[in-house]
Amino acid sequence: MIRLAPSILSADFSRLGEQVQTIERAGAHVIHVDVMDGHFVPNITFGAGVMKSLLGKTKLPFDVHLMIENPDQYLEDFATDDTEFITVHAEACTHLHRTIQHIKSMGIKAGVSLNPATPLDVLEYILEDLDLVLIMSVNPGFGGQKFIPSALHKIRELKKMKNERNPNLIIEIDGGITLDNIKEVTDAGVELVVAGSSVFGADDIEKRVGEFLNIFK
Ligand code: DX5
Ligand code: ZN
Protein backbone atom coordinates (compact mmCIF):
# COMPACT_ATOMS: atom_id res chain seq x y z
CA MET A 1 0.00 0.00 0.00
CA ILE A 2 1.24 3.48 -0.88
CA ARG A 3 0.90 6.11 1.83
CA LEU A 4 0.85 9.90 1.62
CA ALA A 5 2.83 11.89 4.18
CA PRO A 6 2.12 15.62 3.88
CA SER A 7 4.96 17.71 5.32
CA ILE A 8 3.85 20.25 7.89
CA LEU A 9 6.86 22.36 6.91
CA SER A 10 4.57 23.98 4.35
CA ALA A 11 1.57 24.26 6.68
CA ASP A 12 0.33 27.50 8.20
CA PHE A 13 2.05 27.25 11.61
CA SER A 14 -0.47 29.62 13.17
CA ARG A 15 -3.19 27.02 12.44
CA LEU A 16 -1.15 23.83 12.64
CA GLY A 17 -3.67 21.73 14.58
CA GLU A 18 -6.47 22.66 12.22
CA GLN A 19 -4.42 21.96 9.12
CA VAL A 20 -3.36 18.55 10.38
CA GLN A 21 -7.01 17.72 11.02
CA THR A 22 -7.80 18.80 7.47
CA ILE A 23 -5.31 16.37 5.92
CA GLU A 24 -6.48 13.61 8.25
CA ARG A 25 -10.10 14.15 7.21
CA ALA A 26 -9.01 14.04 3.58
CA GLY A 27 -7.42 10.62 4.07
CA ALA A 28 -3.67 11.35 4.36
CA HIS A 29 -1.86 8.55 6.16
CA VAL A 30 1.13 10.00 7.99
CA ILE A 31 2.39 13.42 9.18
CA HIS A 32 5.87 14.21 7.91
CA VAL A 33 7.76 16.26 10.51
CA ASP A 34 10.75 18.18 9.10
CA VAL A 35 13.20 19.11 11.83
CA MET A 36 16.07 21.42 10.79
CA ASP A 37 18.82 22.84 12.96
CA GLY A 38 20.47 25.55 10.86
CA HIS A 39 23.71 23.52 10.84
CA PHE A 40 23.15 20.34 8.87
CA VAL A 41 20.85 22.34 6.59
CA PRO A 42 20.68 26.11 6.07
CA ASN A 43 17.30 26.56 7.71
CA ILE A 44 15.69 26.21 11.15
CA THR A 45 12.21 24.82 11.64
CA PHE A 46 10.93 23.48 14.96
CA GLY A 47 11.67 20.88 17.59
CA ALA A 48 9.87 18.11 19.43
CA GLY A 49 7.70 20.55 21.38
CA VAL A 50 5.84 21.66 18.28
CA MET A 51 5.37 18.06 17.16
CA LYS A 52 4.10 17.08 20.61
CA SER A 53 1.57 19.91 20.56
CA LEU A 54 -0.22 17.84 17.91
CA LEU A 55 -0.60 14.83 20.19
CA GLY A 56 -4.28 14.28 20.83
CA LYS A 57 -5.27 16.52 17.91
CA THR A 58 -4.85 13.76 15.34
CA LYS A 59 -4.63 9.99 15.19
CA LEU A 60 -2.15 10.07 12.33
CA PRO A 61 1.33 8.75 13.11
CA PHE A 62 4.43 10.94 12.92
CA ASP A 63 7.18 10.40 10.38
CA VAL A 64 10.09 12.35 11.87
CA HIS A 65 12.76 13.53 9.43
CA LEU A 66 15.75 14.79 11.39
CA MET A 67 17.90 17.14 9.32
CA ILE A 68 20.16 17.89 12.26
CA GLU A 69 23.68 17.26 13.47
CA ASN A 70 24.09 15.01 16.51
CA PRO A 71 20.63 13.45 16.17
CA ASP A 72 21.43 10.96 18.98
CA GLN A 73 21.01 13.74 21.48
CA TYR A 74 17.36 14.31 20.48
CA LEU A 75 16.03 10.85 19.60
CA GLU A 76 14.24 10.34 22.93
CA ASP A 77 12.46 13.70 22.57
CA PHE A 78 10.81 12.59 19.34
CA ALA A 79 9.89 9.09 20.54
CA THR A 80 6.18 9.40 21.36
CA ASP A 81 3.45 6.75 21.27
CA ASP A 82 2.39 8.27 17.95
CA THR A 83 5.85 8.27 16.37
CA GLU A 84 6.01 5.60 13.68
CA PHE A 85 9.36 6.48 12.06
CA ILE A 86 12.47 8.42 13.01
CA THR A 87 14.81 9.01 10.09
CA VAL A 88 18.33 10.37 10.38
CA HIS A 89 20.70 11.48 7.65
CA ALA A 90 23.62 9.19 6.84
CA GLU A 91 25.70 12.34 6.25
CA ALA A 92 25.03 13.55 9.81
CA CYS A 93 25.79 10.32 11.68
CA THR A 94 29.31 9.28 12.59
CA HIS A 95 28.04 6.11 14.27
CA LEU A 96 25.07 5.31 12.07
CA HIS A 97 24.73 1.72 13.28
CA ARG A 98 24.52 2.85 16.89
CA THR A 99 21.97 5.54 16.06
CA ILE A 100 19.75 3.08 14.19
CA GLN A 101 19.87 0.59 17.07
CA HIS A 102 18.97 3.39 19.48
CA ILE A 103 15.84 4.28 17.49
CA LYS A 104 14.79 0.64 17.28
CA SER A 105 15.39 0.09 20.99
CA MET A 106 12.59 2.61 21.65
CA GLY A 107 10.17 0.52 19.57
CA ILE A 108 10.21 2.97 16.67
CA LYS A 109 10.88 2.17 13.03
CA ALA A 110 14.30 3.41 11.96
CA GLY A 111 15.12 5.18 8.72
CA VAL A 112 18.16 6.57 6.97
CA SER A 113 17.94 9.45 4.55
CA LEU A 114 20.36 10.15 1.72
CA ASN A 115 21.01 13.54 0.15
CA PRO A 116 20.84 13.72 -3.64
CA ALA A 117 24.64 13.37 -4.07
CA THR A 118 25.05 10.55 -1.53
CA PRO A 119 25.39 7.12 -3.15
CA LEU A 120 23.44 4.04 -2.07
CA ASP A 121 26.79 2.44 -1.15
CA VAL A 122 26.59 3.95 2.33
CA LEU A 123 23.74 1.51 3.04
CA GLU A 124 25.88 -1.55 2.27
CA TYR A 125 26.47 -2.63 5.87
CA ILE A 126 23.25 -1.32 7.40
CA LEU A 127 20.50 -2.23 4.91
CA GLU A 128 19.23 -5.29 6.78
CA ASP A 129 18.83 -3.23 9.98
CA LEU A 130 16.63 -0.58 8.42
CA ASP A 131 12.86 -0.23 8.29
CA LEU A 132 12.98 2.68 5.86
CA VAL A 133 15.23 4.52 3.44
CA LEU A 134 14.33 8.09 2.53
CA ILE A 135 15.65 9.23 -0.83
CA MET A 136 15.93 13.01 -0.99
CA SER A 137 14.87 14.35 -4.38
CA VAL A 138 15.88 17.93 -3.43
CA ASN A 139 18.73 19.23 -1.32
CA PRO A 140 17.20 19.31 2.15
CA GLY A 141 16.48 22.65 3.78
CA PHE A 142 13.44 24.13 2.10
CA GLY A 143 10.03 23.24 0.78
CA GLY A 144 8.93 24.13 -2.72
CA GLN A 145 12.07 23.09 -4.63
CA LYS A 146 12.20 21.27 -7.94
CA PHE A 147 12.44 17.46 -8.13
CA ILE A 148 15.96 16.24 -9.05
CA PRO A 149 15.42 13.53 -11.70
CA SER A 150 18.44 11.35 -10.73
CA ALA A 151 16.42 10.35 -7.65
CA LEU A 152 14.39 8.06 -9.91
CA HIS A 153 17.42 6.01 -10.86
CA LYS A 154 18.38 5.80 -7.21
CA ILE A 155 14.94 4.53 -6.25
CA ARG A 156 15.05 1.84 -8.93
CA GLU A 157 18.49 0.68 -7.74
CA LEU A 158 17.34 0.70 -4.11
CA LYS A 159 14.27 -1.33 -5.07
CA LYS A 160 16.59 -4.05 -6.40
CA MET A 161 18.59 -4.03 -3.15
CA LYS A 162 15.35 -4.21 -1.18
CA ASN A 163 14.08 -7.20 -3.16
CA GLU A 164 17.33 -9.08 -2.65
CA ARG A 165 18.16 -8.21 0.93
CA ASN A 166 15.30 -6.59 2.87
CA PRO A 167 11.87 -7.14 1.32
CA ASN A 168 10.10 -5.31 4.16
CA LEU A 169 12.09 -2.11 3.65
CA ILE A 170 9.93 0.96 2.99
CA ILE A 171 11.23 3.33 0.32
CA GLU A 172 10.29 6.95 0.93
CA ILE A 173 10.73 9.95 -1.36
CA ASP A 174 10.92 13.57 -0.26
CA GLY A 175 11.20 16.76 -2.25
CA GLY A 176 9.47 18.32 -5.23
CA ILE A 177 6.63 15.81 -5.43
CA THR A 178 3.64 16.99 -7.46
CA LEU A 179 0.60 15.44 -9.11
CA ASP A 180 2.69 15.33 -12.30
CA ASN A 181 5.60 13.22 -11.07
CA ILE A 182 4.08 11.12 -8.31
CA LYS A 183 3.06 8.25 -10.58
CA GLU A 184 6.60 7.85 -11.86
CA VAL A 185 8.06 7.61 -8.34
CA THR A 186 5.48 5.16 -7.07
CA ASP A 187 5.94 3.03 -10.20
CA ALA A 188 9.67 2.98 -9.39
CA GLY A 189 8.99 1.46 -5.96
CA VAL A 190 8.21 4.26 -3.51
CA GLU A 191 5.66 3.36 -0.83
CA LEU A 192 5.77 6.47 1.35
CA VAL A 193 5.41 9.79 -0.46
CA VAL A 194 6.19 13.13 1.19
CA ALA A 195 4.48 16.17 -0.27
CA GLY A 196 4.78 19.60 1.31
CA SER A 197 4.05 22.63 -0.83
CA SER A 198 1.94 20.67 -3.30
CA VAL A 199 -0.46 19.77 -0.46
CA PHE A 200 -0.41 22.75 1.90
CA GLY A 201 0.09 25.28 -0.89
CA ALA A 202 -3.07 24.16 -2.66
CA ASP A 203 -6.16 26.40 -2.60
CA ASP A 204 -8.19 23.43 -1.44
CA ILE A 205 -5.97 21.19 0.71
CA GLU A 206 -8.59 18.50 1.18
CA LYS A 207 -9.22 18.24 -2.52
CA ARG A 208 -5.49 18.07 -3.26
CA VAL A 209 -4.98 15.18 -0.83
CA GLY A 210 -7.85 13.40 -2.59
CA GLU A 211 -6.17 13.96 -5.96
CA PHE A 212 -2.96 12.36 -4.69
CA LEU A 213 -4.82 9.41 -3.21
CA ASN A 214 -6.67 8.83 -6.48
CA ILE A 215 -3.35 8.37 -8.27
CA PHE A 216 -2.35 5.67 -5.75
CA LYS A 217 -5.42 3.58 -6.58
C1 DX5 B 1 13.01 19.39 2.51
C2 DX5 B 1 12.09 18.67 3.44
C3 DX5 B 1 10.87 18.22 2.75
C4 DX5 B 1 10.01 19.35 2.28
C5 DX5 B 1 9.31 18.92 1.05
O6 DX5 B 1 14.19 19.65 3.14
O7 DX5 B 1 12.71 17.52 3.97
O8 DX5 B 1 10.12 17.31 3.53
O9 DX5 B 1 9.06 19.75 3.23
O10 DX5 B 1 8.63 19.98 0.53
P11 DX5 B 1 8.13 19.99 -0.97
O12 DX5 B 1 7.17 18.83 -1.13
O13 DX5 B 1 7.49 21.32 -1.11
O14 DX5 B 1 9.35 19.81 -1.86
ZN1 ZN C 1 11.37 15.89 4.89
Amino acid (1-letter code) at residue 66? L
Distance (Å) from CA 175 to ligand 1 centroid:
5
Query: What residue ranges of the chain have pLDDT lower than 70?
Result: none
Q: What is the mean pLDDT of the chain?
A: 98
**pLDDT tens figures, 160-199:** 999 999 999 999 999 999 999 999 999 999 999 999 999 9
Alpha-carbon Rg for the chain, nearest whole angstrom, is 16
Is 121 one of the annotated active-site residues of the chain? no
What is the pTM (predicted TM-score) of this model? 0.98
Q: How far is the CA of 50 from the centre of ligand 1 (A)?
A: 17
Give pLDDT, residue 217: 85
The domain locations on the chain are 3-216
Q: Where are the alpha helices (DSSP H) in the chain?
A: 16-26, 48-52, 75-78, 96-105, 150-165, 182-187, 197-200, 205-216
Q: Is 141 in the pocket of ligand 1 (CB under 6 A)?
A: yes
Would you call 57 helix, strand, or coil by DSSP?
A: coil
Architecture label for domain 3-216: Alpha-Beta Barrel (3.20)
Question: Residue 130 half-sphere exposure, CB side, CA atoms within 13 Å?
Answer: 29
Q: How many CB atoms lie within 10 A of CB 129?
A: 15
Burial environment of residue 181 by CB neighbours within 10 A (0 to 12, 13 to 18, 19 or more): middle
ipTM exceeds 0.95: yes
Is 34 considered catalytic here?
yes
CA–CA dist 16, 51 (Å, integer): 10
53 is in an annotated binding site: no
Which among 63, 174, 187, 203 is annotated as catalytic? Answer: 174
Amino acid at 163: N
